[in-house]
């Protein structure tokens, strides 16, 4: 069977998501972070040229190589013809040990090194941690303002202000992508791990995109976390715990949606689709994470994910609930609270979980209403449908809306059937 050839309209958005941030990271090694807009402009112009060229001349045999070749040529042209470079940037580049290169290349090692160096450079204590993470998600991960706002559960205007302040601070301090000392790396590692965690989460359960799961984001976050384990300074228990969590969660990606992209509840998932190799890797990294006495949110979440991939243990939900009870002491977020309620329902029943949920009373959260819809489904169909409808009104995800509408139809059909009986 011949492989399905995507059109340029289908391929370019995928490549933009996958390569734009990498391209920007390498370009920033030459311009420096103080002139990050120049790097972003060249990367954007590269994709613009592809959007104009490919529909007419066809998709090149190696699209990714084509993009990097164009970016390289655009950078060389900029060096030749732009007066700004000659008057303002050249001295800084010559003075930079990273930028002192005879030629400019985009090879896999340079790309990986540049991304990691860039995320550590952006995650500078000169900015508040939330601003650091916002900027890293935008520059390194290609997140939109809406996606960042969703990750932080806050308003888009708040994120815009954080990004503006963070970029201004970069210019002011003349940050460079450079070799960091041990103290700087240790100071910034927590923020870097948090950034990768949010990157993975957007891929694992996207609320700002019409795809519920975005495997490219999960893969990219896992790859960057794996790179951290190659460095003695970043090969910490926290890093291993986060990597373990990513492996456990990734192992179930294929089973979490149906062919139409709709979500499949955990208990309805086809466990034969779970990736056992990733589960084994998750176990391996979790053992490394537990080599010391440190217990972080990543340890607890990895433990929860571990029990999810253990289908035979009869007390698995009790173990999961105990871990959520510990996690909520470290991070009492709305997401943690709702996930704990789901586990509580599994252990003590839906009635108990509903009573606890009513104390939370998070009426502006679609996830809150979706959970209440699930909890009420067996006892009060009308109430369940009401909550599902409120969840539909509150979510921005087209895929999530489809899933919830399907559940309302199922309950409506069940109610009709019960009346006939």
Q: What is the pLDDT along the chain (421 residues), one digit of tens a residue?
A: 334 446 777 788 778 877 887 788 777 766 665 567 788 888 889 999 999 999 999 999 999 889 988 988 888 787 776 655 455 555 554 444 434 344 455 556 555 566 667 778 778 777 788 888 888 888 777 778 888 888 787 889 999 999 888 888 777 765 555 666 788 888 889 989 998 998 898 888 876 666 677 888 888 889 889 988 988 889 999 999 999 999 999 999 999 988 877 788 888 889 999 999 999 999 999 999 998 888 999 999 999 999 999 877 778 999 999 999 999 999 888 889 999 999 999 999 999 999 999 888 788 889 999 999 999 998 899 999 999 999 999 988 888 888 899 999 999 988 776 665 5
- 3-class state of residue 169 by DSSP: helix
User: How many C-beta neighbours within 10 Å does residue 7 have?
Assistant: 10
**H-assigned helices in 82-107:** 83-84, 90-95
Long-range contacts for 275-281 (Cβ within 8 Å, ≥24 apart)?
275/250, 275/251, 276/251, 278/247, 278/248, 278/250, 278/251, 279/247, 279/248, 279/251, 279/309, 281/247
Of 300, 218, 307, 222, which is closest to residue 254 (Cα–Cα)? 218
Contacts of 220 (CB under 8 A, 6+ apart): 18, 141, 199, 203
Among 22, 10, 6, residue whose Cα is nearest residue 220: 22
The candidate with the shortest Cα–Cα distance to 373, out of 356, 357, 387, is: 387
Q: Which of 241, 365, 361 is nearest to 299 (CA)?
A: 241
Give this prediction's pTM.
Answer: 0.77
Spatial distance between the Cα atoms of 67 and 241, rounded to a whole number of angstroms: 35
Angle between helices 237-250 and 297-308 (to 10 degrees): 30
Greatest Cα-to-Cα distance within the chain, rounded to the nearest angstrom: 84
d(CA 41, CA 117): 20
């Amino acid at each position: 069977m011949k492989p399905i050839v995507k059109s340029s309209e289908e391929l370019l958005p995928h490549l933009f998501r996958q390569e734009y941030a990498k391209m920007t990271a390498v370009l920033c090694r030459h311009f420096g972070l103080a002139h990050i807009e120049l790097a972003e402009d060249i990367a954007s112009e590269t994709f613009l040229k592809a959007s104009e060229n490919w529909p007419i001349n066809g998709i090149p045999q190696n699209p990714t190589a084509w993009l990097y070749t164009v970016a390289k040529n655009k950078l060389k042209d900029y060096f030749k013809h732009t007066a700004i470079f000659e008057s303002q940037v050249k001295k800084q580049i010559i003075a930079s040990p990273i930028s002192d290169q005879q030629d400019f290349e985009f090879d896999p090692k340079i790309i990986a090194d540049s991304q990691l160096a860039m995320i550590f450079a952006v995650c500078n204590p000169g900015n508040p941690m939330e601003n650091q993470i916002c900027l890293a998600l935008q520059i390194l991960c290609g997140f939109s303002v809406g996606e960042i706002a969703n990750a932080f559960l806050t308003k888009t205007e708040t994120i815009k202000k954080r990004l503006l302040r963070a970029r201004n601070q970069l210019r002011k301090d003349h940050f460079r992508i450079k070799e960091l000392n041990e103290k700087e790396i240790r100071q910034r590692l927590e923020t870097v791990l948090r950034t990768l965690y949010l990157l993975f989460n957007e891929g694992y359960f996207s609320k700002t995109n019409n795809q519920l799961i975005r495997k490219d984001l999960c893969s990219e976050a896992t790859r960057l976390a794996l790179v951290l384990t190659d460095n003695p300074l970043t090969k910490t228990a926290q890093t291993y715990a986060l990597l373990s969590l990513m492996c456990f969660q990734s192992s179930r990606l294929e089973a979490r949606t149906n062919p139409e992209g709709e979500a499949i509840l955990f208990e309805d998932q086809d466990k034969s689709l779970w990736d056992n190799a990733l589960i084994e890797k998750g176990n391996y990294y979790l053992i490394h994470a537990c080599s010391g006495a440190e217990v972080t949110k990543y340890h607890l979440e990895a433990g929860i994910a571990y029990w999810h991939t253990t289908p035979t243990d009869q007390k698995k939900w009790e173990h999961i609930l105990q871990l959520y009870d510990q996690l909520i002491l470290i991070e009492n977020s709305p997401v943690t609270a709702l996930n704990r309620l789901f586990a509580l329902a599994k252990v003590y029943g839906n009635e108990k979980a509903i009573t606890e949920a009513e104390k939370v009373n998070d009426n502006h959260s679609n996830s809150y209403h979706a959970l209440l819809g699930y909890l009420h489904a067996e006892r009060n169909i009308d109430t369940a449908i009401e909550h599902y409808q409120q969840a539909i009104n509150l979510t921005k995800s087209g895929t999530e809306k489809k899933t919830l509408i399907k559940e309302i139809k199922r309950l409506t059909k069940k109610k009709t059937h019960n009346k006939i009986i």
